[in-house]
Amino acid sequence: MNDKELLQEVMQRAQMWLDGNYDAETKDAVRKLMSAEDKTELIESFYKNLEFGTGGLRGIMGVGTNRMNIYTVGSATQGLSNYLKKQFAGLPQISVCIGHDCRNNSRKFAEISADIFSANGIKVYLFEDLRPTPEMSFAIRHLGCQSGIILTASHNPKEYNGYKAYWNDGAQMIAPHDTAVIAEVNRIQSVDDIKFEGNKALIKIIGEEIDKLYIEKIKTLTLSPDSIARHKDMKIVYTPIHGTGVRIIPRCLKEFGFTNIIPVPEQNVVSGDFPTVVSPNPEEPAALSMAVAKARETDADIVMASDPDSDRLGIAVKNDAGEWVLCNGNQTCVLFTYYILRRWKELGRLTGKEFCVKTIVTTEVMKDVADKMGVEIFDCYTGFKWIAAIIRELEGKRKYIGGGEESYGYLAEDFVRDKDAVSACALMAEITAWAKDNGKTLFELLQDIYVEVGFGKEKGISVVRKGKSGAEEIQQMMRDYRANPPKEIAGSRVAVVKDYQTLTATETATGKTSKLDFPCTSNVLQFFTEDGTKISVRPSGTEPKIKFYIEVRGTMHSRADYAAADKAASEKIDAVRASLGV
């Protein structure tokens, strides 16, 4: 399709919004786009439908078929309602739970979704105000709901919003429900198919009663109450980065026994504009800069930050020179895994039936820790729905005691089925207290883990390609890597290539292939070199990016070796980047 044909099709799509039963404000905005001399924004808004993918919706807010607005949210909710009514036709009352974060329009979208569900005869439990994503997952399970949604775009910039859909186990949907819901959403061909007139009798507002139950369950995760008691006044700097953790995470820390939680007042302001940061992402150093400044000012023991929907945790710690450094998601996963498994072992709780889970792009050090402790660890695809799927598969047979992913997500419990920064903050504070009890800083604990099981350093690189042309470029990059996989990377021969789209692992020396045991295919490639380097490549499922995950390995014999091991690993990562051209 050439540019002229594309514009003609877009104009026709936009005209349908002017002719349909859309509100006056929406129509005015559409007219403005249609009459603008530069048609770029019109094309981006209408060139396709915002896809209800396997995790739901995520996109820039605005008018149009490719934007987050009351009509795209309405279509998603109507499609999900239709599916629930088919799946649970025998139930006397289908119910759903709805939560939302601090983003602009999140409350509006949540209330409109509540109206649509209720108009379809579905009972709605609607949180009174913003709440963390993991609490919504908890509420689905506690209330016995068949589904749930949360309005959030997680850590995306302020222009975005999103809609994540969950099944009755409190996890994001996987097959067959994900694709079946997508099919129902795609059947909504007109705004007239959406039932916007709600039934208030079917909408129940929830809040404090769920908060209490959720926090009480999190308190059962504590493994070192004596350490907390001895270090209850240690200095914890915490920032919610304007999001949903603002009240519940300090409250949870206090309920755990910590008394000295230091806020970052400017970032306690709840705002979908995220006024103090460019991006509200705890993976970005800039997002933690104010908290780190507060830690220097107060001589704190740890810095913790959660993203807007409080499912991701970022931390900063003091290194051996007294400087504040950020830990990446892999390092926090290693700290959580080591602490939980070691304490379970020391407390005599390990029976041989426990297990952990990590994603395929997460550090192999996590596996080394589990192996050392004699606990099985499973690999799964990126995204917590896959960790939740393994928990569900083994439920009643084995005991889940932790899982995480490199993108700053960890889950220590099975009463939530998504990554949880609320419980993660409480446990990370406990780990800090336990380390102090053992005469160590958190940084020294991490060093000691590397001495015990082997050193690893990771680097994530995202190449952004926006819009229609960007999406096409990303797909072409994946095709090129498949057609011509690298033979060596940074001077080390590629030994194994794993292609999750064909579910095959290929030994490059012999050409021998074996089958990968995964539940479905995924557009991911991995290259393993002879020197232990692992490179994973995949398009992002939620953002206009292609992601590269690089992990290199090394050895440490003592804490004194850390600087040299880190420097060598950084040089190796630079060489890998040069080889890949990223």
Does 104 have pLDDT greater than 90? yes
Please tell me the predicted confidence (pLDDT) of residue 287.
97
Q: Which of 84-98, 395-409, 471-485 has the lowest mean pLDDT?
A: 471-485
Same domain, 436 and 556: no
| Eight-state DSSP code of residue 564 | H
Same domain, 85 and 1: no
What's the pLDDT tens digit per position in 516-564? Answer: 999 999 999 999 999 999 999 998 866 678 999 999 999 999 999 999 9
Spot the catalytic one: 154, 306, 407, 536.
154
Q: 19-36: string of b/e by CB count within 10 Å (b at 16+)?
A: eeebeeebeebbeebbee
Q: How many CB atoms lie within 10 A of CB 196?
A: 15
What are the structure tokens assigned to 182, written together? Answer: 């997508």
| Eight-state DSSP code of residue 30 | H
Kindly state the percentage of the chain with pLDDT values over 90: 92
Boundary of a domain, candidates 403, 431, 453: 453
The mean pLDDT value for 279-295 works out to 96
Same domain, 290 and 435: yes
What's the pLDDT tens digit per position in 212-254? Answer: 999 999 999 999 999 999 999 999 999 999 999 999 999 999 9
Same domain, 548 and 421: no
- What band does 349 get if pLDDT is binned at 50, 70 and 90? very high
Please tell me the predicted confidence (pLDDT) of residue 466.
80
Same domain, 382 and 461: no
Please tell me the predicted confidence (pLDDT) of residue 55.
78
The mean pLDDT value for 359-380 works out to 97
Same domain, 488 and 519: yes
Please tell me the predicted confidence (pLDDT) of residue 218.
98
Same domain, 274 and 376: yes
Same domain, 305 and 430: yes
Kindly state the percentage of the chain with pLDDT values over 70: 99
Same domain, 359 and 395: yes
- Taking Cα atoms as reference points, which of 120, 148, 146 lies closest to residue 135? 148
Boundary of a domain, candidates 434, 453, 472: 453
What CATH code is carried by the domain that includes residue 474? 3.30.310
Boundary of a domain, candidates 206, 229, 251: 206
Full-model pTM? 0.94
What CATH code is carried by the domain that includes residue 139? 3.40.120.10
The type of residue at 367 is: K
Same domain, 421 and 550: no
Same domain, 436 and 460: no
What's the pLDDT tens digit per position in 171-197? Answer: 999 999 999 999 999 999 999 999 999
State the total domains in the chain: 4
The mean pLDDT value for 16-30 works out to 97
Q: Which residues pair with 238 in a beta bridge?
A: 263, 304
Please tell me the predicted confidence (pLDDT) of residue 467.
77
Please tell me the predicted confidence (pLDDT) of residue 542.
62
Tell me the CA distances in angstroms from 417 to 367, 386, 412, one per residue in order: 21, 10, 10
- What band does 343 get if pLDDT is binned at 50, 70 and 90? very high
- Taking Cα atoms as reference points, which of 66, 48, 46 lies closest to residue 57? 66
CB distance 315 to 421 below 8 Å: no
**154 a catalytic residue:** yes
What are the structure tokens assigned to 47, written together? Answer: 């060139």
- Taking Cα atoms as reference points, which of 397, 413, 539 lies closest to residue 481? 539
Q: For 125, how many CA atoms within 13 A lie in the half-sphere containing its CB?
A: 25
Same domain, 447 and 461: no
Does 307 have pLDDT greater than 70? yes
**Arithmetic mean of pLDDT over the chain:** 96
The mean pLDDT value for 305-323 works out to 97
The values of phi and psi at residue 147, to 5°, are: -160, 175
Please tell me the predicted confidence (pLDDT) of residue 1.
60
SS3 track for 176-229:
CHHHHHHHHHHCCCCHHHCCCCCCHHHEEEECHHHHHHHHHHHHCCCCCHHHHH
Please tell me the predicted confidence (pLDDT) of residue 209.
98
Range of the domain at 5: 1-47
Does 4 have pLDDT greater than 90? no
Q: How many CB atoms lie within 10 A of CB 365?
A: 25
Please tell me the predicted confidence (pLDDT) of residue 263.
98
- What band does 276 get if pLDDT is binned at 50, 70 and 90? very high
